[in-house]
Chain A
Amino acid sequence: MELNLVNIDNIEFSHSRMHNNILLLKSCRKGEEVAALAQKILLAKFHLIKEVIGAGSEILIKTRSPNKVLEVLQKYKWPKIPVTRWCLPIRIVDNFDLDKLVNFSKLSITEISDALNGLELRVHSFGFIPGFIYLSGLPEILQIPRKLNPGNINIENAFALGGPYAGVYSFKSPGGWNVVGQLPFALFDFENQLPSPISINDIFAIDLISKTEFKSIRANELNFKSYNATN
């Protein structure tokens, strides 16, 4: 079998062409490293590249000139993306799946709150619906599996747990994760254009807030950026 290997930003990929406009890169490495490179490719705004998606150990590139793109990507001087530390205010909500987490973890609500408060999670990838963010670094005791039958996530900006990841829903939608909290604002701004200020590998430090604090952040119309600028 012919192995087409390329080296992009010190990651080795095999590549194959799907149809005449899709280039699929596959690496032995996975997770944040590959997703971070996908984001760098996106932000470099190569005019030949129409779409970039990263998942697991793969990067998909939509382009009409795959050979040229491979050449450009290998030669490009890739910048180091600085890691930003963000504060993630979350209000615990008890009317969704918190009881399931209590059963699963055998912890009390207070102990769950203690485990979450100050917890540092890492941006792993963006995901399965627009603006959804996967966060890694959840302690094993909180790694409650996703629901077998997805239900409806009926609150905005839900903070939810599913297997090894925590995630933030960008809007109400069907979903199989366990909702245990809510953010006072969206992490992904649907009104404004991109790029998102959030990079793969950024750190989100959870700051548990009360209902009053939650309401005050909303009343002051703070968003993710302005809240972090003032905290």
Chain B
Amino acid sequence: MLLIRINRGGNLTTIQDGGFKRMGFYGFPQSGFMDKHSAHIANLLVGNKKNTSCFEMTLVGGQFSFSEDCLIGITGADMSPMINGKSCRMYQTVSIKSGEVLSFGKAKNGLRSYLAVGGKWNIPKRYGSKSSYAYAGFGLNEGLNLKKGDIVEIKIPERERTMIKWPQQKCALGFKTISIQKGPEFDNLIKPDHLFKSFRIGLNSNRMASQLEGEPIGLRQDDRFETCVLWPGVIQCTPGGKLIVVLQDGQRTGGYPRVALLAPKEISKFNQISIKEEFKFVLAK
């Protein structure tokens, strides 16, 4: 059994997978990878199924030691990964030797980095997922940032694995435009053009939602509007004209008009835009 010991958690390092299954009705979020695209590639690099658990690191990565030889794959934001102080390649299968230490620094581009490890992650499933979900205290260290001394057990498969190199240009980073569709309450916008000015990801953003900084957006009062369903990618507009993008750990119901939507593929790109970074929305064709 491979034991991965966390020496340092980083800024927000959690374990994520494909998320909860059929639990939205009971108020559970979708949960899971914020950048599904990068996480899936990481898992493919090590021969796992694409929704196998991964470490998801945010802004600043952690440090991990490995008790056995194994294969790893790192994708997403470039946090300058190093094995025993030597630079380690991303977007290709890398073999790690027993006793080696893998360290990550601050993201140079993007926001979230994925570390996949080949094998079966020995973590209890809750409602179809091994994901950390801090709000309900689910997962290792109650879903909070992994801390020094936390240990993850992984059963390494016996059979040989092929080493894979991924064409890195396909990753979801570096996009400054995010395409959106009109939301169910798009017509509540007084000047829809305002949606296409520049925005920044606000400091108050997390796995539940991203609060955008930008010029306030005019919204028509609609007294008939009441509780509605939400899902990751919905862009809500508050009465004060602020945009809130509902993300993976976000609520399933809400009371603000849904003026626009991110297409599922755009969510991965959006979730790699760093705090305070500027971007624009464009209307999808």
Contact = CB atoms under 8 A, between A and B. Distances in A.
B174 interface: no
A108 interface: no
Contacts of A39: 25
B184 to A, nearest CB: 7
Nearest to A43: B25
A128 B181 contact: no
B137 A171 contact: yes
Given A21-B264, A58-B229, A194-B127, A129 B25 contact: no
A6 interface: no
B126 interface: yes
Contact of A130 (B28, B181, B226, B254): B28
B181 A55 contact: no
A58 B27 contact: no
Given A19-B261, A19-B264, A56 B228 contact: yes
Interface string B249-273: 0011110000001011000000000
Nearest to A191: B126
Contact of A190 (B126, B181, B227, B264): B126
B33 interface: no
Contacts of A128: 27, 251-254
A230 interface: no
**Chain A CB within 10 Å, residue with most, of B27, B127, B252, B263:** B27
A55 B252 CA distance: 8
Given A126-B26, A194-B127, A54 B184 contact: no
Given A19-B263, A53-B229, A129-B135, A38 B27 contact: no
B280 interface: no
B118 interface: no
A188 B25 contact: no
A206 interface: no
A223 to B, nearest CB: 17
Interface in B19-62: 21-30
A80 B12 CA distance: 46
A8 interface: no
Contact of A51 (B22, B27, B126, B264): B22
B114 interface: no
A153 to B, nearest CB: 12
B31 to A, nearest CB: 10
Interface string A19-34: 1111010000010000
Interface string B213-257: 000000000000011111101000000000000000001111000
A127 interface: yes
B136 A127 contact: no
Contact of B25 (A20, A54, A57): A54
Contact of B229 (A21, A30, A55, A193): A55
A54 B229 contact: yes
Interface in A37-63: 38-39, 42, 50-60, 62
A58 B136 contact: no
Interface string A54-93: 1111111010000000000000000000000000000000
A131 interface: yes
Contacts of B138: 190
A219 interface: no
Given A19-B263, A54-B229, A126 B25 contact: yes
A122 B20 CA distance: 27
Contacts of B127: 193-194
B28 A59 contact: no
Contacts of B181: 18-19
Interface in A184-231: 188, 190, 193-194, 196
**Chain B CB within 10 Å, residue with most, of A54, A130, A188:** A130
Interface of B: 21-30, 126-127, 135-138, 181, 184, 226-231, 233, 251-254, 261, 263-264
Given A38-B25, A52-B22, A53-B231, 18 more contacts: A18-B184, A20-B264, A21-B264, A42-B25, A50-B21, A50-B22, A52-B24, A56-B253, A59-B229, A60-B229, A127-B253, A128-B252, A130-B23, A130-B28, A131-B27, A173-B136, A190-B138, A196-B26
Interface of A: 16, 18-22, 24, 30, 38-39, 42, 50-60, 62, 125-132, 170-171, 173, 188, 190, 193-194, 196
| The 8 A-B residue pairs with the shortest CB-CB distance in the complex, in nearest-first order | A55-B253, A56-B227, A60-B229, A53-B24, A130-B28, A55-B229, A51-B24, A126-B26
19 contacts: A16-B184, A18-B184, A19-B264, A22-B231, A51-B22, A51-B25, A55-B228, A56-B226, A56-B228, A56-B253, A57-B226, A60-B24, A60-B229, A127-B27, A128-B252, A171-B137, A193-B127, A194-B23, A194-B127
